[in-house]
Structure 1
Amino acid sequence: MTHYLADVADAWQESWDRQQEAFLPDREHRIAAMLDAVAAVAPEGRPALLDLAGGTGTIALRALDRFPHARVTVVDQDPVLLTLAEAALGDRARIVAADLSRPSWTDALPHRDYDAVLTATALHWLTPDRLAVLYGELHGVLRAGGLFANADHMPDEGLPGLTKRLLEAADARREARYATGAALSWRDWWARVAADPRLAALYAERSKIYPTAHGSAEWTPPAGWHLAALRTAGFTETGLLWRGAADATVAAVA
């Protein structure tokens, strides 16, 4: 059956990508680095992959472009983003609604032997205690030797002054893009969603789940915190897979 948003699925994905790239100009680089690591742990090219807090399915779509025979699951709680993911991915992926702030989220997974769990710019909305526990839960859904990678805001604690200047320059570039209409801001993108008759009901549902902008305070510790938490969670190898300015991708092997 054709999804009711099939005719605009690509346009919404492009709109989301442009909005996100205003924050993350090197967004594609970090995803490519994660997919290179997936290829290393699943060289047969048929990985079982979990796109964690996957939103519109950004990682899933790129993974399927690279690994057409991948077995992909997308997990998120946002009804708007999950619907856009469903429209874009169709029957190529399992779409799962689950709340990562609750340990029961793993009950919704179709299986627990993933080759890789990938996530990008999402887990910083969890509290430190919850994120540390989540890392242990992720260890439990990966096969032995499986990969976890988290790309997020992870400033280098050894470069505070330089990081501040890099962030100021990035802020200026982003504001220039907003001013010229080259990209929508986060607020403006969601205003477009709310105004779309086919998404308005989902947006209202989303507003009940997230009564404030994101539902919790943003928390962005340095990469070292993540690496220590992953080791405590039982991962055998941990390290940096990618870095760009104040962002990094940590990787861990189960």
Structure 2
Amino acid sequence: MTPYNLDVRAWQESWDRQQEAYLPDREHRLDTMLDAVEAVTDRPDPRVLDLAGGTGSISLRTLARFPQAQVTLVDLDPVLLTIAEASLTGRATVVTADLNDPDWAAALPLREYDAVLTATALHWLDGDRLATLYREIRDLLRPGGLFVNADHMPDPGLATLSAQLLDRARARRNARYAAGAVLSWSAWWEQVTAAPTLAPLAEKRRQIYPTGHSPEWSPPADWHLDALRAAGFAEVGTLWRGGTDAAVAGLR
């Protein structure tokens, strides 16, 4: 149930702007993911799993592209799930599940999906768990189904250039913060904590993540491709790259 007086559109917009400060090409990568979904299915109601979906960024764009899509969003964060559920207004199934739990998929409403999509989320998992999760995702896909993971995946062959690109991006982001053009990650969460409607959920979130998320782990795209092959995907490759970020894809 949406908390009383929660202006979900404002919170959704502020989340998108905060994310775009880190990912200026965010919309392009999401569009590319949905182009791939469109390519692998000819049904008007593709079954799409938005994995670690947060506030519903992928789900909302999926429904804009495919209004009849059967969308499931999975996340654990109570703040982000509340915003997602209010934003999606019954057009998607919102599920609370912990991807570190091997039984997380038992909570899903469908046993088979045409596509599983995730963006800027799975770096919170360690390597062993992520490799296992890739096998679990493969088992959820129909034959020919698509998995895409877009995240920070630096190219080890461009170590110097990658560091320079990250320095440039950090400087531009800090300039935007200083000018008040956008909220930083920490400032966004400070606003959540200060909002009467979200503060109780922020406290619940703190109990789930008492020390915060685990340290970010960002291996190169080749690690992901190897893990996808080991998980049994029939085809794997890099669907998109922008600087130090990439989207890897696998077809079952």
1:17 aligns with: 16
1:65-80 maps to which residues of 2 (within 5 A)? 65-80=64-79
1:188-207 maps to which residues of 2 (within 5 A)? 188-207=187-206
d(CA) in 1 for partners of 2:198, 2:211: 19
Displacement of 1:7 in angstroms is 5.6
CA root-mean-square deviation: 1.1
d(CA) in 1 for partners of 2:183, 2:209: 21
1:87-98 maps to which residues of 2 (within 5 A)? 87-98=86-97
Displacement of 1:111 in angstroms is 1.1
d(CA) in 2 for partners of 1:201, 1:217: 25
Displacement of 1:3 in angstroms is 3.8
1:155 aligns with: 154
Displacement of 1:102 in angstroms is 1.1
Q: How many residues align?
A: 252
User: Where do 5+ consecutive residues of structure 2 fail to align?
Assistant: none
Give structure 1 regions of 4+ aligned residues with deviation exceeding 3 angstroms. Answer: 2-7
Determine whether 1:217 maps to 2:218. no
2:237 aligns with: 239
Q: Deviations over 1:52-77 (max 9, x none)?
A: 00000000000000000000000000
d(CA) in 1 for partners of 2:3, 2:204: 18
1:248 aligns with: 246
* Matched position secondary structure for 1:170: helix
Output the amino acid matched with 1:51.
Answer: D
Q: Deviations over 1:214-242 (max 9, x none)?
A: 2x111000000000000000000000110
What's the % identity of the aligned pairs? Answer: 63
2:53 aligns with: 54
Displacement of 1:112 in angstroms is 1.7
2:179 aligns with: 180
Displacement of 1:158 in angstroms is 1.1
Contact 1:39 1:45 in 2 (8 A): no
Displacement of 1:46 in angstroms is 1.5
User: Where do 5+ consecutive residues of structure 1 fail to align?
Assistant: none
With 6-15 and 163-172 compared, the bigger mean Cα shift is at 6-15
Q: Deviations over 1:69-94 (max 9, x none)?
A: 00000000000000000000011000
1:104 aligns with: 103
* Matched position secondary structure for 1:175: helix
